[in-house]
């Protein structure tokens, strides 16, 4: 037997050596047989008893934890090897394996070692375990409280009482193994008995209510013991230690925790939480399944929003709102809290067996978040925001040949972590909205309820969800797709295939008024790879004659095996619009006559077309012209109708297309100036509407803010004059309207010196609102010399300290890359600091994210050259592959603008 301290040290050294060699070995593994990163199926967990003791002493720099985990396992087959997941832990001992039924015949441990590449602890036994028997063993371990906000980690923050700290967990998706040895895979759901040690001056929380506290006054320490959880996967295990204050409802079942100076500010959200919880209970017809729900506000931006069962953590700001908070912040707060509550049902109570299907719960909660919040706050028009923020965004991400299907095998922890992208989160949400309209609202709700009932506290696959739909429809003799089409067959074409279709609508040659509908894979890649991918497409449509924009359930279906489908219409139907309210995840093209009729309608009386279809027509026309499907004349002509448009959604859709075109044309200065002049003409129209307050009510302030900022950025003189006036007032300590902040701050930065930069930076570091922080970042990017600003203000820091540490890396990149000078500064930064970024625990993902953000913005030769240098500097095959894939979009965009340059300029008549 080898279980002494020297063995532990050897194990630690082996882990460290393996970790340092992982990068180089990965290159070798890429050309050999793929590694199996999964746990073997020899054993499976039955229960855990976990004890954790965090030790934080800033005086001597001790930031560690130690613990023990007693695991009961079931032997599935004869085996002398037991494998658990473990990463960055020092394992000091593994006890003998005691037979649970007899309490004797302990199987001795010969030794244990770690495999850093596979993130596993491998325990070798003296003799074989016997199938169907239960065994109990205990692992003693220790580790360092992490700085990267994963696993069991610490966080220091400034308080009115000085510097304070908290220690808390973030185990999603595969970070539990960084805190304790365990079976860290989704398919294993087991009960946990958790005990946490703390200093007497602190308190602890976990998934379940506290049942016993043992206090040792001499040592100043106490042990908190919590009720045993329901069976849960390891990523939902949660605990924390802090000195936060508590605000609870009368029945004590719902409580909020945050630092003492902000606890009174939790009153607004405390009133909202029961309403949000009740809305989910009413929708699912399943009562909240735990005795308590704790909501913890963490004083850190962009690091927290975790839906652990019974213990949800959020950015502090979102649980400390008030009636006087800005509209955008209240919307974000409600939706952030509601999303985590929804996860208690979708993802916690019912879990997928692997992360290959992470889109199922991510997308469902994303869609239901908008759907339920829209019923709670109908005045916020969140169904419109869904189209802008989710649907159109997903279409844009999914329109290249290098995209991926929703269901995608995740072979290791890195691929699991990287898998939470726009396709996984937003496309899936758009597809669930599409499904709701395909089956109808009542069947959508009933089917989800059946699914939750059938698989409560168990694992379920997408096919199980589709089966719930098919059974509900079958029981009531309801068919979709014109018959002989199941929900499973329908949805598999969308979840197991990448991309989406272009629906082409052409008049029948016989003059009957009917239209012929076909589909093909839509792609903006240049050159485009042709493929025969097809989908089950539910078609909704209306005509000028009927004008029915409320019929959102498909009445005609286009099937993968169909070459075409014929839709009968009257000869005098007028214009035709397919995809009512953008319920389907596809784009639509028409014949020249129909495009012309739509243009006439929009110019003369746009309100006869639903606002979401007005946005859809503009969005489709832009992307179809980029794809060389329709002439740019169609798109540019459609933009003329904006003179009649008083709603922010179509305007924001148009601005997105105009901004992308301006980004691409930066490569050609003369043509860029011409298109900028054209865009300025639209900006003049837009500013008149904004100045006259014609564009909507309170719920549209957010959209108006974005539009005003765009108008000023284009150089509209009246907008800039007004914005500078507001900025000067702000600089003198006066308040300004929230919707003017972004425009005012940007204009102020353009004319400002280092004193002005410093003032804005101080505002950025001090303001609590995440939305206003992002406005401040975008304003800093408006400075003429962002590179100097970066150096003097150290806007991006990689040492984990300061307000823009690595946790805020994404926010900085996304918001600074909004100007050409910001793009250059960020590209230079990424090239210069790539090795430093990659040395971080989350380095690969951060570098890939940054490269992706820049890829959609770069256009100039020097920018593309820098991106090539960054790509060449990637050392690992994994990173090279990621950069190469993203770089295809740079090349595709360059070829697109080169191909269409003259067409665009000709279309605007310059």
**Contact (CB, 8 A) for 536 and 560:** yes
**Contact (CB, 8 A) for 606 and 593:** no
| Residues 6 or more apart in contact with residue 709 via CB below 8 angstroms | 742, 743, 746, 778
Instruction: List 223's β-bridge partners, or say none.
Output: 197, 214
The answer to whether the annotation marks 339 as part of a ligand binding site is yes
Neighbours of 132 (CB within 10 A): 8
Region at 499 (left for phi over 0; alpha for psi -120 to 50; beta for the rest): left
Q: How far apart are CA 48 and CA 228, in angstroms?
A: 9
**Contact (CB, 8 A) for 416 and 177:** no
pLDDT tens-digit series, residues 816-833: 888 888 899 899 989 998
Give the three-class secondary structure for 173: coil
Weakly modelled stretches of the chain, pLDDT under 70: 1-34, 301-304, 696-701, 793, 795, 797-808, 841, 910
| Residue in 471, 384, 481, 504 with CA at minimum distance from that of residue 433 | 384
b/e per residue 891-910 (b: at least 16 CB within 10 A): ebbbebbeebbeebbebbee
| Residue in 574, 656, 664 with CA at minimum distance from that of residue 618 | 656
**Contact (CB, 8 A) for 93 and 61:** no
Q: How far apart are CA 712 and CA 684, in angstroms?
A: 10
Give the pLDDT score at 466. 98
Q: How far apart are CA 142 and CA 223, in angstroms?
A: 17
Burial class (CB in 10 A: 0-12, 13-18, 19+), 546: middle
Residue with tokens 């208690």: 344
Give the pLDDT score at 24. 37
Give the pLDDT score at 526. 84
Give the pLDDT score at 700. 64
Instruction: List 236's β-bridge partners, or say none.
Output: none
**Contact (CB, 8 A) for 258 and 217:** no
Token pair of 699, please? 């719920």
Backbone angles phi, psi at 486, to 5 degrees: -95, 160
Give the pLDDT score at 507. 96
Q: How far apart are CA 899 and CA 765, in angstroms?
A: 44
- Pairing outcome for strands 245-248 and 62-75: unpaired
Token pair of 4, please? 């002494």
Q: How far apart are CA 330 and CA 323, in angstroms?
A: 8
Token pair of 584, please? 């389907």
Q: Which helix (H) or strand (E) holds 267?
A: helix 267-284
SS3 track for 735-796: CCCHHHHHHHHHHHHHHCCHHHHHHHHHHHHHCCCHHHHHHHHHHHCCCCCHHHHHHHHCCC
| Residues 6 or more apart in contact with residue 46 via CB below 8 angstroms | 72, 73, 74, 134, 190
Q: How many CA atoms lie within 13 A of 132 on its CB side?
A: 0
Give the pLDDT score at 27. 39
Give the pLDDT score at 411. 77
Residue with tokens 């695991």: 71
Token pair of 858, please? 């770069």
Give the pLDDT score at 36. 82
Give the pLDDT score at 590. 98
Region at 302 (left for phi over 0; alpha for psi -120 to 50; beta for the rest): left
Q: How many CA atoms lie within 13 A of 627 on its CB side?
A: 25
Token pair of 127, please? 């003799």
| Residue in 194, 191, 192, 184 with CA at minimum distance from that of residue 235 | 184
Backbone angles phi, psi at 44, to 5 degrees: -150, 150
The answer to whether the annotation marks 362 as part of a ligand binding site is yes
């Amino acid at each position: 037997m080898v279980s002494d301290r020297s063995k532990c040290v050897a194990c630690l050294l082996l882990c460290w050596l393996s970790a340092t060699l992982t990068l180089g070995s990965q290159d070798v593994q890429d050309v050999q047989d793929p590694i199996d990163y999964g746990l073997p199926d020899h054993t499976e967990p039955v229960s855990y008893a976990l004890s954790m003791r965090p030790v934080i002493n800033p005086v001597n720099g001790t930031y560690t934890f130690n613990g023990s985990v007693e695991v009961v396992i079931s032997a599935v087959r004869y085996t002398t090897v037991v494998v658990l997941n473990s990463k960055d832990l020092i394992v000091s001992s593994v006890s003998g394996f005691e037979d649970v039924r007899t309490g004797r015949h302990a199987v001795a441990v010969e030794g244990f070692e770690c495999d850093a590449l596979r993130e596993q602890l491998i325990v070798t036994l003296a003799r074989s375990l016997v199938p169907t028997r239960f065994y109990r063993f205990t692992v003693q371990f220790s580790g360092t409280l992490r700085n990267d906000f994963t696993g069991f980690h610490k966080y220091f923050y400034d308080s009115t009482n000085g510097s304070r700290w908290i220690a808390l967990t973030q185990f999603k998706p595969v970070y539990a193994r960084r805190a304790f040895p365990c079976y860290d895979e989704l398919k294993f759901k087991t009960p946990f008995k958790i005990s946490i040690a703390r200093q007497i001056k602190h308190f602890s929380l976990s998934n379940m209510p506290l049942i016993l506290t043992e206090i040792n006054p001499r040592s100043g320490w106490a042990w908190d013991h919590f009720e045993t959880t329901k069976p849960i996967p390891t990523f939902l295990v949660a605990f924390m230690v802090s000195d936060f204050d508590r605000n609870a409802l009368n029945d004590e079942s719902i409580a909020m925790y945050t630092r003492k100076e902000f606890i009174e500010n939790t009153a607004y959200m405390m009133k909202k939480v029961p309403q949000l919880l009740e809305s989910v209970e009413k929708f699912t017809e399943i009562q909240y399944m735990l005795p308590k729900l704790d909501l913890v506000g963490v004083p850190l931006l962009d690091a927290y929003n975790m839906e652990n069962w019974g213990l949800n953590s959020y950015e502090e700001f979102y649980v400390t709102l008030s009636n006087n908070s800005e509209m955008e912040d209240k919307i974000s707060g409600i939706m952030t809290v509601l999303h985590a509550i929804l996860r208690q049902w979708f993802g916690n109570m019912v879990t997928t067996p692997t992360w290959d299907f992470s889109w199922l719960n991510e997308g469902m909660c994303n869609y239901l978040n908008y759907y339920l919040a829209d019923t709670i706050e109908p005045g916020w028009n969140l169904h419109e925001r869904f189209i802008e923020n989710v649907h159109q965004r997903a279409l844009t991400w999914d329109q290249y040949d290098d995209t991926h299907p929703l269901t995608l095998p995740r072979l290791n922890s890195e691929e699991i972590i990287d898998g939470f992208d726009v396709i996984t989160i937003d496309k899936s949400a758009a597809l669930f909205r599409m499904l709701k309209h395909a089956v109808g609202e009542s069947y959508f709700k009933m089917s989800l309820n059946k699914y939750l009932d059938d698989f409560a506290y168990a694992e379920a696959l997408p096919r199980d969800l589709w089966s719930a739909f098919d059974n509900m429809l079958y029981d009531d003799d309801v068919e979709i797709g014109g018959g002989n089409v199941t929900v499973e067959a329908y949805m598999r074409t969308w979840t197991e295939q990448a991309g989406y279709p272009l629906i082409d609508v052409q008049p029948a040659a016989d003059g009957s008024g009917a239209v012929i509908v076909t589909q093909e894979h839509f792609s903006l890649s240049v050159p485009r790879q042709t493929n025969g991918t097809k989908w089950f497409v539910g078609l909704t449509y209306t005509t000028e004659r009927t004008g029915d924009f409320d019929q959102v359930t498909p009445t005609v279906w286009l099937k993968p095996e169909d070459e075409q489908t014929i839709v009968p219409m009257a000869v005098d139907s007028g214009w035709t619009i397919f995809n009512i309210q953008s319920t389907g995840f596809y784009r639509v093209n028409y014949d020249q006559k129909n495009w012309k009729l739509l243009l006439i309608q929009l110019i003369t009386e746009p309100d006869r077309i639903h606002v979401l279809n007005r946005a859809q027509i503009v969005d489709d026309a832009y992307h179809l012209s980029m794809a060389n499907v329709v002439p740019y004349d169609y798109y540019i002509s459609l933009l003329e109708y904006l003179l009649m448009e008083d709603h922010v959604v179509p305007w924001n859709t148009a601005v997105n297309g105009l901004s992308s075109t301006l980004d691409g044309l930066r490569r050609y200065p003369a043509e860029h100036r011409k298109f900028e002049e054209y865009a300025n003409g639209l900006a003049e129209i837009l500013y008149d509407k904004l100045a006259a307050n014609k564009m909507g009510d309170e719920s549209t302030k957010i959209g108006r803010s974005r539009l005003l900022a765009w108008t000023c950025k284009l150089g509209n003189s009246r907008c800039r004059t007004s914005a500078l006036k507001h900025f000067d007032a702000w600089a003198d300590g006066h308040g300004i309207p929230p919707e003017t902040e972004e425009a005012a701050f940007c204009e102020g930065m353009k004319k400002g010196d280092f004193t002005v930069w410093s003032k804005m930076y101080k505002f950025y570091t001090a303001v609590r609102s995440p939305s206003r922080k992002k406005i401040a970042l975008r304003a800093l990017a408006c400075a003429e010399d962002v590179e100097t600003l970066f150096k003097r203000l150290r806007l991006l820091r990689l040492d984990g300290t300061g307000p823009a540490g690595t946790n805020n890396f994404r926010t900085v990149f996304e918001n600074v890359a909004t100007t050409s000078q910001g793009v250059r500064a960020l590209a230079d930064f990424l090239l210069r600091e790539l090795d430093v970024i990659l040395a971080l625990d989350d380095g690969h993902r951060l570098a890939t994210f940054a490269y992706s953000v820049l890829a959609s913005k770069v256009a100039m030769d020097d920018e593309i050259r820098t991106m090539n240098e960054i790509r060449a500097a990637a050392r690992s095959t994994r990173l090279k592959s990621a950069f190469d894939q993203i770089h295809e979009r740079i090349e595709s965009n360059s070829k697109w603008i080169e191909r269409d340059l003259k067409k665009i300029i000709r279309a605007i008549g310059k």
